[in-house]
Amino acid sequence: MTEIRARGLPGGWGVAMLAVLVGSLLLGLAIGPVSTGVWPIASSALSHLGLGIHSRLGATDSDIVWQLRAPRVLLAALVGGMLAIAGSAYQGSFRNPLVDPYLLGTAAGAGLGATLAITESLPSGLLPVAAFVGASVAVALAYVLGRTVGGVHSTATLILAGVTVTAFMTAVQTFVQQRHQATLQEVYSFILGGFSSATWHDVWISAPYIGASSVVILLHRRVLDVLSLGDEEASSLGIDVRRTRLIIVVAATVGTAAAVSVSGLIAFVGIIVPHTVRLLVSTSYRAIVPLALVLGGAFLVLTDILARTIMSPAELPIGVVTAFFGAPFFAVVLRTTRRLG
Amino acid sequence: MKGLLIVVAVVVALCAGGARAATYPTRIVSLSPSATDDLFAVGAGKQVVAVDSLSTYPKQAPVTKLSAFTPNVEAIAKYKPDLVVISNDQNHIVRQLGKLHIRVLTAPAAANFGQVYAEIQQIGNATGHAAQAQSVVKRMKKQVAAIVRTTPRPPKQLTVYHELDPTYYSVTSHTFIGQMYTLLGVKDIADAANGGSDYPQLSAEYIVASNPDLIVLADTVCCGQSWKTIAARPGWGTIAAVKDHEVVRIDDSIASQWGTRTVNFLRAVASAVKTLEARTS
């Protein structure tokens, strides 16, 4: 049993990654297609805080920074953090390093919900709701299917059920999408994902779910270490494996569904960020879970900065940026840590 | 060289003339909304037996469930067509129809007015309505010239943001729509995003900072956009076009189908430019 006594959360890494997150947030606020200068933004922020400092930001620039850029940066942080922490929770509870938070049908369900909302011309405010409902229904279906077939202990059956539900929902989604050519563009926009039209409203409606789900996963970080030993070992250590896994998966799913509903489908983050932490810091979920949350947020904020500045004033789909810069970065991490190990 | 060209032209004309007597199509299927518009405009409407699901103009067009994006050769053959008009060769449909000895006319999406005219003429020639096609083209040319001539050019060049969908996809001057703004002397703010796609997705903050004088919404049908919905977007209230209600709503399909209605689009934009000019002067 000694080999599982991996390091917990080293303070140095925690501080360093928090600093990276705060730095990315400030950078995200300061940089954009419209250049306003850093000091006017700072003065505007301080004047908002009521420190008696006069804002040097014009009315339009103030709207740009606080109504368009700020919610976008925050939303990217929330979504990135959520996808990464959910990815680590899934990987831990399924003891499978290749798992991402879309595993049990979240992406396909959200895609179908959003497509229906768009093709049936529901008010645009209902799109996130439809995506959320779609994602939740998909995962619930996968769970019920997996349980009735595979019994309690088989995670493989649950994963297969997720694959089945995903295939079915994707088929329905493609069918509906092809039947409504006029709205193709809007459906694709959602599926490509991104933050180009993020608003404070998106932040407010997703933050409670993302917050609550992150807290639940954070509270279970030690249990994830025990689950990683195997179901029987975890049971013998007094853990109700089925119940615990259900709680973790539900929390991760609700949070992921909330993230997907406001940002569309952003791949890669949920799988790469937890592994980066695992390779750089520790294989213990006590470190992976909190650091994935922080690093995931920073990663998506930084990639979103690239998405909106590289081709400015045109935008790049964020999925292109996350994979284009994330993949080589991860390759480097993989190689260097391998060499060290 | 010139003599040779004339000989070739005469031979082609003779062949076309010889063919004309017998083989004008009487059962046309159109898989292109623009071509459907053209067919009816040149007076070939009575020869049209079926059009694809998106060919909603003109109203009398026999709309069917045929898809132009995923065409199915058997579904098309069911209508026993002697001519199928398409805009692009999806699913190798030309080869498949060829196997059934069905004639295909390809009228690709036009990139400028010249191509629109050429296609109307081509469709007129192929259906036995060459003269009518010629007069349609003549009338369109006259209308376009009149619209361009009577549109004022304010000393300070007006700017426009053309919206394709609510995630800020737009068009540059390299596109057909963009060229129409150029024709009217209006500057397209999406041109700053050159080097990439001609249909770039713009950053919201760039649109707000550009402060366009005119906003044209081509997402009114698909996505229900209007002055009200864009005025409610955060930060958009400061845009001149929003403050002054200079927001033109057009049917999405008019701005993506290049037939006779293209003139209507040009006219709608021109009239917005006129009101803008009247206000500032």
B19: confidence class by pLDDT, cuts 50, 70, 90: very low
CATH topology for A96-268?
ABC transporter involved in vitamin B12 uptake, BtuC (1.10.3470)
Residue of A195, A31, A200, A186 lying closest to A119 (CA atoms): A186
Residue range B159-168: average pLDDT? 92
Contact (CB<8Å) B206/A312: yes
| Distance in angstroms (rounded) separating the CA atoms of residues B128 and B16 | 11
What residues does each domain of chain A span? Answer: 96-268
pLDDT of residue A1: 39
Q: How far apart are CA A154 and CA B153, in angstroms?
A: 73
Which residues lie closer than 8 Å to B87 by C-beta, 6 or more apart?
B31, B32, B34, B35, B68, B106, B107, B108, B109
What dihedral angle (degrees, nearest 10) is formed by the CA atoms of B218, B220, B225, B228? 110
Residues B210, A223: Cα–Cα separation, whole Å: 53
ipTM tops 0.85: no
- Helix/strand/coil for A305: helix
B162 phi and psi, to 5 degrees?
Answer: -105, 120
Q: Which among B165, B203, B204 is the nearest to A312, CB-wise?
A: B203
Q: What is the pTM of this model?
A: 0.83
Confidence of residue B195 (pLDDT cuts 50, 70, 90): low
A34, A185, A196: residue with CB nearest B209: A34
Residue-wise pLDDT for B232-267, tens only, equals 998 899 999 999 999 999 888 776 778 888 898 999
Contact between chains at A314 and B196 (C-beta distance less than 8 A): yes
* B interface test, pick of A36, A41, A62, A63 with most B CB neighbours within 10 Å: A63
Residue B89, min C-alpha distance to chain A (Å): 17
Are the C-beta atoms of A108 and A258 separated by less than 8 Å? no
The CA distances from residue A340 to A2, A13, A310, A335, B255, in Å, are: 21, 18, 34, 9, 59
B251, closest residue in chain A (CA to CA): A182
Residue A336 touches chain B, beta carbons under 8 Å: no
CA distances from A300 to A59, A84, A296, A333, B21 (A): 28, 10, 6, 18, 67
What's the confidence (pLDDT) of residue B223?
A: 81
- By three-state DSSP, how is residue A331 classified? helix
- CA A206 vs. chain centroid, Å, equals 11
Q: What is the DSSP letter of A53?
A: P
Task: Check whether the bond before B58 is cis (ω within 30° of 0).
Answer: yes
Which of A64, A124, A182 is facing B208, going by the closest CB pair?
Answer: A64
d(CA B178, CA B175): 5
Residue of A nearest to B236 (CA): A63
Reported as a single tens digit per residue, the pLDDT across B32-79 is 999 999 999 999 999 999 999 888 889 999 999 988 888 889 899 999
Contact A68 B234 (CB under 8 A): yes
Cβ(A230)–Cβ(A298) below 8 Å:
no
Looking at the complex, report in whole angstroms how far the Cα of residue B13 sits from the nearest Cα belonging to chain A: 40
pLDDT, averaged per 10 consecutive residues of chain A (341 residues), comes to 56 92 94 85 82 79 90 96 95 84 87 90 82 91 84 73 92 89 80 88 93 96 89 86 89 92 88 90 92 96 93 88 85 72 40
Does A71 reach chain B within 8 Å, measured CB to CB? yes
**DSSP structure class, residue A230:** -
The identity of residue A305, as a single letter, is I
Closest CA to B111 of B179, B57, B48: B179
Instruction: For residue B118, give the amino acid letter.
Output: A
Q: Which residues contact A79 (CB under 8 A, 6 or more apart)?
A: A195, A206, A210, A259, A262, A263, A266, A300
Chain A residues within an 8 Å CB radius of B192: 313
Q: Tell me, what's the pLDDT at A287?
A: 93
Identify which of B164, B204, B238 has the shortest CB distance to residue A60: B238
**How many distinct helices (H) and strands (E) make up chain A?**
15, 0
Q: How far is B182 from chain A (nearest CA, A)?
A: 20
Quote the minimal CA–CA distance from B78 to chain A in Å: 21
Q: Is residue A189 less than 8 Å (CB to CB) from chain B?
A: yes
What integer pLDDT is reported at residue A338 of this predicted model? Answer: 60
Structure-token match 């595993």, residue found = A103
What residues in B contact A37, CB-CB < 8 Å? none
Asked whether A268 and A53 are in contact (CB, 8 A), the reply is no
pLDDT in tens, A29-51: 999 888 888 888 888 888 888 77
What is the mean pLDDT of the segment spanning B171-197? 90
Nearest Cα of chain A lies from the Cα of B165 at a distance, in angstroms, of: 7
Contact between A61 and B165 using a beta-carbon 8 Å cutoff: no
Residue A221 sits at the chain B interface (C-beta within 8 Å): no
CB contact under 8 A, A186 and B222: yes
Select from A59, A69, A178 the Cβ nearest to the Cβ of B205.
A69
- Kindly report the length of chain A: 341
* A308 vs B contacts (CB less than 8 Å): 203
pLDDT of residue B3: 56
Cβ proximity of B171 and B178 under 8 Å:
yes
* CB-CB neighbors (< 8 A) of A194 in chain B: 167
For B165-234, give the DSSP string: STT-B---TTSHHHHHHHHTTPEEGGGGGTTS-SSPBBPHHHHHHH--SEEEES-HHHH---HHHHHTST
The nearest alpha carbon in chain B to A309 belongs to B203
| Paired tokens of A46 | 């301080």
The answer to whether the CB of B29 falls within 8 A of the CB of B84 is: yes
State the nearest Cα–Cα gap between B206 and chain A, in angstroms: 6
More confident residue, B194 or B32: B32
Mean pLDDT within B114-130:
95
What pLDDT does residue B17 have? 45
Which residues in A lie closer than 8 A to residue B204 (C-beta atoms)? 68, 196-197
